[in-house]
Structure 1
Amino acid sequence: MIELMGIALVVGALWVVGSIVGLMFKLVFGLIGGVFHLLAGAVGLFIGGLVMLLVLPLIALSLLPVFLPALILFGLIWAVVHFARRPTTTSVAR
């Protein structure tokens, strides 16, 4: 019975040591993976921003025929309001 208890203690101790080693590996590789994940996300945002800078003007130009009537209407309203205003009079202090 003492031998069985000794074997159980040795197996249990090896299991605890193996669990701690596995925990350390998981922690270290998780931290390293997190750092690489953040780096890849930052690079992805940078490349995505550059692509958007190149693509958005093309999208705006392609949508210009859709928005042209509204732009002309807003421009006409702005011109009417702008020319309908009287110039402001400034009072000269003496």
Structure 2
Amino acid sequence: MSFDYLNALSKQPTTRTPIWVMRQAGRYLPEYRATRKQAGDFMSLCKNPELACEVTMQPMDRFDLDAAILFSDILTIPDAMGLGLYFSEGEGPKF
């Protein structure tokens, strides 16, 4: 993480506007796709701390970014609540 990012959070002067990429761990990165394949499925990727950290850091290694947001997904919440989350091929998440 860069000092510019930390300074911006503290409303202190920065040398430039710090950046990070929204949805930075994404399908467009070949290394993300390889890690997702290793995980087996999307929720397994979210639930595995090592793999989640790996996909978090992949864009940091590839691009000149100032900060990373830990990879996760909002679907981990209803899944943890036991709402019966599952995925239908080509349709996305279902409960």
Which protein is richer in helix relative to its size? 1
Q: TM-score, normalized by length of structure 2?
A: 0.21
Q: TM-score, normalized by length of structure 1?
A: 0.21
Larger radius of gyration: 1
Name which structure has the greater RCO, CA cutoff 8 Å, separation 6+. Answer: 2
